Amino acid sequence: MLHRNVEPPSQYVDDRLSHEEPKSRMQKLRSGGLLPERRTPLLTWLAIILLCYTVSLQEQVFALFTSVRCTPATVRAGTNATCSISTFQLAAETDLSITQLGEAGNIVLRSTAPHAYQVSFSTAKAGGAGVRVKHALSTSWSMVEVLPGPAIGRVELECAPKRVRVGEDVRCAVVPRDRFGNAADVEKPTGAPASYFSVARTGGAGEVVVQDASVSFAAAQVGRAGVAVTLDGVRVQDDVEVVADVV
């Protein structure tokens, strides 16, 4: 005899009579682990973006109060200048940079008190020197004037024209320089001898006339004629060719 197991009527459910909604494709993906169960609400993302923008905008406003001042206003080549930099008390200073301007040497950080910095830089070349402070989108700067140092044992001399007739004038440019190569004034130290800085004629040069940055003379004899300049024991000389005047 054949036996057949038959489920009781109470356990059989016809799919057509089921009220359960079929799962959507997104639900199937989530249940399968392919998508996260929850998503960050759009308003949360908007709030985060707005917060970041507000913080950035606030820092831009604070940066407007950043200032820099370099002293003294005038320095001589070879000395240092000092710059004081201040920022707003609530500034984060996350985007703050200090760079050189003009002839400023390397920047050295001297103090780092909260929201108050002090830096210094060396000088060598004459001209303007300073620092530029960039904070966020704001930029401020300060400059000092660098003057040449005293002329020390270095002088340049050039006479022109290089060929003249007897009786014609010759002009010689005299350029004393400091230890950094800047054109400088001669400053005779206290107690220095009279020969510390002197100009003398050589060869067939006539009387020498000393001016601010040059000397001149008239060619008196055929041959060579020129001048010699001595600065702090260093002597340089230059001359020109003198030819006879053709009648």
Rounded to the nearest angstrom, the gap between the alpha carbon of residue 24 and the centroid of all alpha carbons in its chain is 64
pLDDT of 27 strictly over 60: no
The pLDDT, as a whole number, for residue 213 is 87
Q: How confident is the model at residue 105 (pLDDT cuts 50, 70, 90)?
A: very high
Mean pLDDT of the chain: 83
* Cα distance between residue 105 and residue 118, in whole Å: 15
pLDDT of 17 strictly over 60: no
The pLDDT, as a whole number, for residue 38 is 56
Mean pLDDT for 78-102 is 90
The pLDDT, as a whole number, for residue 138 is 85
pLDDT digits (tens, 9 = 90+) for 42-86: 666 555 565 554 446 677 788 888 999 999 999 999 999 999 999
Phi, psi (rounded to 5 degrees) for 2: -90, 135
* Cα distance between residue 66 and residue 59, in whole Å: 11
The pLDDT, as a whole number, for residue 43 is 64
> Is residue 114 helix, strand or coil?
coil
Structure-token pair, residue 63: 């940066």
Quick one: which of 163, 99, 86 has its CA closest to 134? 99
Residue with more model confidence, 73 or 138: 73
Domains and CATH numbers, the chain: 63-147 (2.60.40.10), 155-243 (2.60.40.10)
The pLDDT, as a whole number, for residue 11 is 53
Q: How confident is the model at residue 152 (pLDDT cuts 50, 70, 90)?
A: confident
Residue with more model confidence, 28 or 94: 94
Cβ–Cβ < 8 Å for 197, 208: no
Query: Whole-model pTM above 0.85?
Result: no
Quick one: which of 68, 47, 179, 204 has its CA closest to 123? 179
* Cα distance between residue 197 and residue 219, in whole Å: 23
The pLDDT, as a whole number, for residue 102 is 95
